[in-house]
Structure 1
Amino acid sequence: MARFVRWTALTAAAALLVTGCSGGSSGGEGSGQGSETGSASAGSTTPLPASLTSQRLDWGDCKATADSPEPGGAWQCATLEAPLDWAKPDGETIDLALIRAKADGGDRIGSLLFNFGGPGSSGVSTLPWYASSVAELGKRYDLVSWDPRGVGASKGLRCRSDKEIEASESVDITPDTSAEETAYFRDAAAFGKGCQKSAGTLMAHVSTTDTARDMDLMRQVLGDTKTHYFGISYGTELGGVYAHLFPEKVGRLVLDAVSDPSADAVGHAENQTRGFQRALDNYLKSTGQSAEGGTRKIVDLLRRIDANPLPTSSDRKLTEALALIGLLYPLYSEASWPRLTSAVKAAEQGDGTELLALADDYNDRDASGHYMTGTHSQRAISCLDDKQRPTVEETKKLLPRFEKISPVFGPMLGWDTAGWCHDWPVAGQYDTPEVSAPGAAPILLVGNTGDPATPYEGTRRMADELGKGVGVMITWKGEGHAAYGKGSDCVDSAVNAYLLKGAVPEDGKVCS
């Protein structure tokens, strides 16, 4: 199961997230002649070898993969060589898969890097799909993304086979008995062992900090003096960590659907429990129900499904775990609320087909039963990041608090605080990410008041932690996950003016 405490990969919600869709030059076109060859890279204490900083990217046609079709058109792909262990830059290296479309207009600014969240989202497969939403930006920027280490074509992890993933769907993620509890934690430990077998030495080198350092190497090899970046969801944490490590290299950074850097693992779980219940309340009110009454009906439905999984049009049953994912997934976009209404109505009548289809969409399961592996990478990255590992006893004490916040999603997210990284093979690195970036150029933060996955309150906390004069905040009074490209001319024009002209909006700007 995907962990909802982290920020869902954009690729998992691709059809839901986009429903409609003055600065000087930052350097040359990407000659690969890094200006910092042989010197210590900013934010690092160890000099980088010239073999890395001066490498030339061999851009060519993109190849199709098992999980990503060939994009064709103007898209080009290349491979960047980066240190496996950033403490040993002269040691073993890892290949990172990159994709780009060169600026198609005049007055080129430089490269604009994209991270679409997760952690675990493939930038190589997502950027071509997302490019129509940023066509205006593509006139003056090379649009660039990559598969972070441990993701997709960058030595992506596969911790379980398709058959094992499907079998795990029968595990109760809100255990009610000691037997269910034992099965839940046995399954969690088995997942970690599978990741360790797949990743090997990479398991300890897929952190957000590792990827932020990869970004700065990417900047040098692309030939940019500053990093211009668009981070969505988890990509906002990555952007904040980058700004902390390399404040003097910050160019124009946009962070949309901002995560709360002040929250630890339990805090993130509470934030998302609150965010998804808020979105559910708004959905229920839109259908003419009261939030309280509608929530009670859904809780009753889930209890019935827990006791007796629902039949579907296939030979698979809709379990409570799959039903919860099916309920949660459409809350990422207001445009999908009618689909949620239809699925709940069918489930109440004893047919789990539509909720199962929603869960499969979220879990990246295709009609043949093949699962993509974004959630495998997500778990490995987040468990390497998170030092906090609540015990079973500590989690049980938290459950009443979670259930009070959301009777629907609270039990799942509460248990997840202990289950996600249970018996994980490597230790976590920090309780909360360090994002303070004194001296950095202004960074634009975009918060959506109805965002379920990265609740709005985190935007202000990110602004506060970046530091005075660095975080500049825009508020959109909307629904769904993220704000840019979601139909607000106010948001889109402010982001475009910032990225294309360097025009920093007034801090606190509100778009309704």
Structure 2
Amino acid sequence: MRRRLAELALPSSVPARGRLRRRLATFTTALLMVGVVGTGCAGPDSEWVAPRAAATPGTGSAAPNGGAPTWTDCSDVARNLLNGVPRGITYQCATIKVPQDWTADNGETFDIALLRARSSRQTDRIGSLLINPGGPGGSGVDYAVYLSQLPQLNSRFDVVGFDPRGVGRSTQVKCMTDAQLDTLFGYDPDPVAKADFDTFVAVNREVSDACSAKYGESLRLFSTVQTARDMDAVRKAVGDEKTTYLGYSYGTLLGAVYAHLFPTNIRALVLDGAIDPTEQAESRSEGQARGFERAFNNFAEWCGQTPVSCPVAPDPRAVVQEQLAAARTAPKAGAGGRQATPGWIFTAVVASLYVKDDWEKLARALDDLRDGDTTGIFTLADGYAERDQNGHYTNLFDANTAVNCTDYETYPTLERIRALQSDWRKKYPLFGAGLAMGMVNCAVWPTKHDPYPVGAAKGSPPIVVVGTKGDPATPYEQAPKLADVLGTGVVLTWNGEGHTAYPQTICITQAVNNYLINLRVPAKGTVCPA
């Protein structure tokens, strides 16, 4: 995640900051799924195969590991992510066990991987700062490594990340092949012909059938409400009386559910890149379509103002539309014979709108594409898609789909999606059809749902909800809605671009740090400049 940290800047040598930033979104689509997944923490990378026996209803009150976890050195995680271990910070990992189903504890458990970063310069320790980077499917273990370098945080907190159930180093859900993901990402985001629409549906059915065959009804166990209960198990495991939490994007939804379930267990919550938990799948997808159109318009305005940095000025929208149209009949070839199909171009455009610093990369990638060079397009798209140079994917998309398709009680039908595709194509010319098509995967998802509870955090302290005016993935309008739902929410606004705000700007950084450390809530109506 690329964050300009002002006086709290991360070392310039930190790799993949832009890549991390692009992963912090919440999409309910097979085309637009974002997260962070990594490898190499203490504890097994366990891929779970579901038991076929039905669980017996119960209370689900089992304690993780029966007590405190065993922490072991895992400096290799930081070394792999940062090309070295920051001086004065120790990294330890542990695995705790949680019930597979907190409402029907039959003794079956999942492994939850934790990482704890602790600075040797820590004084007046407050406790742990728990991290979730979003997704769903993002690795809190990885993200904690990055945030552990912020001195105003690590001087007062242990920075603790966890991989949610289904994700990364925790018990994984994995049922999509690399070939299937290549097809989904590369597919035309707006298949106009009925036969092309039906083919896309068939690929998604193939995925859902494979997941159903492997996991059956137990896929519902990867829901947000189950993970929110895992969070309280993590709180107990690290020995905190109250939870201090920083959640991004999907992590704001997770935090909101936690706050509703465990309001009196909260010390401080920051929810950055807010999601309105009352929205249903259709309205959320339309909100993203609107948000990406707005973000692209902001990119186009920048393009016109800085033509030296934007070789596709004065009309980048026309260039994108021209290249999508050309790719539908004659996609340009890249390294290894890969073809820059409309889906990959679309993914590259989406990826670049998460971080304003990537706007110039998008402009140059589109200009190069006009000349037949696909390198820039694939660099943006592959970083977003978590696809390595050998064509392998993480399990991000498996987890993302399992969570999203489980969280809603109902989903639009294929007929409704087909109608929305046509309608949104007119209302949101670049992104509407693609966001409508992104709902196909959950429309054909095979298992029961486990919707999260929505409601006030009665008895909780004030919760800071951060919204960014130019956020494409979690549009700003959701921030005040989330604050209202919580009842104790206080909105902190950034007049900036891109997805999420902390710690990119001095104003936001100071306000959030003052709240996390000193419990001083930002004044009502606080707006930070771009």
For the superposition of Structure 1 and Structure 2, which TM-score range results when normalised by the shorter chain? 0.7 to 0.9
Matches of 2:134 and 2:339 in 1, distance apart?
30
Q: Give 1:269's aligned residue.
A: 285
Moved more, 52-61 or 289-298: 289-298
Return the offset for 1:167: 4.5
Q: Give 1:387's aligned residue.
A: 409
Per the alignment, do residues 256 and 346 of structure 1 end up closer, same or farther by CA in structure 2, a change over 3 Å counting? same
After TM superposition, the structure 1 = structure 2 runs for residues 199-210 of structure 1, keeping only pairs within 5 Å, are 199=215, 202-210=218-226
2:465 is aligned, of 425, 434, 445, to 445
Q: Give 2:344's aligned residue.
A: 322
Per the alignment, do residues 196 and 267 of structure 1 end up closer, same or farther by CA in structure 2, a change over 3 Å counting? same
2:492 is aligned, of 474, 490, 495, to 474
Return the offset for 1:344: 0.9
Kindly indicate whether the alpha-carbon contact (under 8 Å) linking 2:243 and 2:267 is maintained by their aligned counterparts in 1: yes
Are 2:442 and 1:416 aligned?
A: no
Q: Give 1:38's aligned residue.
A: none
Q: Give 1:426's aligned residue.
A: 447
Matches of 1:246 and 1:3 in 2, distance apart?
23
Across the two proteins, how many residue pairs are aligned to each other?
474
Return the offset for 1:80: 0.7
Kindly indicate whether the alpha-carbon contact (under 8 Å) linking 1:12 and 1:361 is maintained by their aligned counterparts in 2: no
Matches of 1:12 and 1:45 in 2, distance apart?
33
Moved more, 68-77 or 85-94: 68-77
Return the offset for 1:12: 7.7
Matches of 1:217 and 1:393 in 2, distance apart?
42
TM-score by length of 2: 0.83
Return the offset for 1:291: 11
Kindly indicate whether the alpha-carbon contact (under 8 Å) linking 1:12 and 1:362 is maintained by their aligned counterparts in 2: no
Q: Give 1:144's aligned residue.
A: 160
Are 2:82 and 1:57 aligned?
A: no
SS of match in other structure, 2:207: helix
Matches of 1:252 and 1:185 in 2, distance apart?
43
Matches of 1:86 and 1:357 in 2, distance apart?
41
Per the alignment, do residues 178 and 402 of structure 1 end up closer, same or farther by CA in structure 2, a change over 3 Å counting? closer
Matches of 1:119 and 1:85 in 2, distance apart?
19
Are 2:12 and 1:4 aligned?
A: no
Q: Give 1:106's aligned residue.
A: 123
After TM superposition, the structure 1 = structure 2 runs for residues 220-231 of structure 1, keeping only pairs within 5 Å, are 220-231=236-247
SS of match in other structure, 1:136: helix
Q: Give 1:128's aligned residue.
A: 145
- Structure 2 unmatched ranges of 5 or more: 1-24, 39-56, 306-311
SS of match in other structure, 1:390: coil
Matches of 1:152 and 1:474 in 2, distance apart?
31
Matches of 1:341 and 1:433 in 2, distance apart?
42
Kindly indicate whether the alpha-carbon contact (under 8 Å) linking 2:97 and 2:110 is maintained by their aligned counterparts in 1: yes
Return the offset for 1:260: 1.9
Q: Give 1:74's aligned residue.
A: 90
Are 2:332 and 1:310 aligned?
A: yes
Give the counterpart letter for 1:482 in structure 2. T
Return the offset for 1:307: 2.2
2:480 is aligned, of 447, 460, 483, to 460
Q: Give 1:118's aligned residue.
A: 135
SS of match in other structure, 1:492: helix
1:233 is aligned, of 249, 267, 278, to 249
Return the offset for 1:378: 0.5
Matches of 1:353 and 1:266 in 2, distance apart?
34
After TM superposition, the structure 1 = structure 2 runs for residues 237-248 of structure 1, keeping only pairs within 5 Å, are 237-248=253-264
Give the counterpart letter for 2:68 in structure 1. R
Matches of 2:186 and 2:284 in 1, distance apart?
26
Cα deviation digits, residues 364-417 of structure 1 (max 9, x gap): 111122211212110111111022321121122222432233211111111222
Matches of 2:186 and 2:467 in 1, distance apart?
36
Kindly indicate whether the alpha-carbon contact (under 8 Å) linking 1:53 and 1:217 is maintained by their aligned counterparts in 2: no
Matches of 1:456 and 1:45 in 2, distance apart?
40
Q: Give 1:30's aligned residue.
A: none
Kindly indicate whether the alpha-carbon contact (under 8 Å) linking 2:91 and 2:117 is maintained by their aligned counterparts in 1: yes
Return the offset for 1:353: 2.6
Per the alignment, do residues 156 and 228 of structure 1 end up closer, same or farther by CA in structure 2, a change over 3 Å counting? same
Matches of 2:37 and 2:381 in 1, distance apart?
10
Kindly indicate whether the alpha-carbon contact (under 8 Å) linking 1:117 and 1:234 is maintained by their aligned counterparts in 2: yes
Q: Give 1:367's aligned residue.
A: 389
Return the offset for 1:77: 0.4
Return the offset for 1:229: 0.3
Matches of 2:133 and 2:278 in 1, distance apart?
21
Matches of 2:341 and 2:26 in 1, distance apart?
17
Q: Percent identity of the aligned residues? A: 37
Kindly indicate whether the alpha-carbon contact (under 8 Å) linking 1:173 and 1:184 is maintained by their aligned counterparts in 2: no
Kindly indicate whether the alpha-carbon contact (under 8 Å) linking 1:274 and 1:406 is maintained by their aligned counterparts in 2: yes
Kindly indicate whether the alpha-carbon contact (under 8 Å) linking 1:213 and 1:242 is maintained by their aligned counterparts in 2: yes
Matches of 1:169 and 1:283 in 2, distance apart?
23
Per the alignment, do residues 47 and 189 of structure 1 end up closer, same or farther by CA in structure 2, a change over 3 Å counting? closer
Cα deviation digits, residues 416-451 of structure 1 (max 9, x gap): 22x121321212233x75142122110001110011
Kindly indicate whether the alpha-carbon contact (under 8 Å) linking 2:353 and 2:498 is maintained by their aligned counterparts in 1: yes
Kindly indicate whether the alpha-carbon contact (under 8 Å) linking 2:272 and 2:466 is maintained by their aligned counterparts in 1: yes
Matches of 2:159 and 2:108 in 1, distance apart?
29
Matches of 1:169 and 1:509 in 2, distance apart?
39
Are 2:418 and 1:402 aligned?
A: no
Q: Give 2:369's aligned residue.
A: 347
Per the alignment, do residues 47 and 191 of structure 1 end up closer, same or farther by CA in structure 2, a change over 3 Å counting? closer
Matches of 2:446 and 2:365 in 1, distance apart?
39
Kindly indicate whether the alpha-carbon contact (under 8 Å) linking 2:37 and 2:395 is maintained by their aligned counterparts in 1: no
Return the offset for 1:88: 2.4
Are 2:506 and 1:484 aligned?
A: no
Per the alignment, do residues 112 and 98 of structure 1 end up closer, same or farther by CA in structure 2, a change over 3 Å counting? same
Kindly indicate whether the alpha-carbon contact (under 8 Å) linking 2:65 and 2:97 is maintained by their aligned counterparts in 1: no
Q: Give 1:20's aligned residue.
A: none
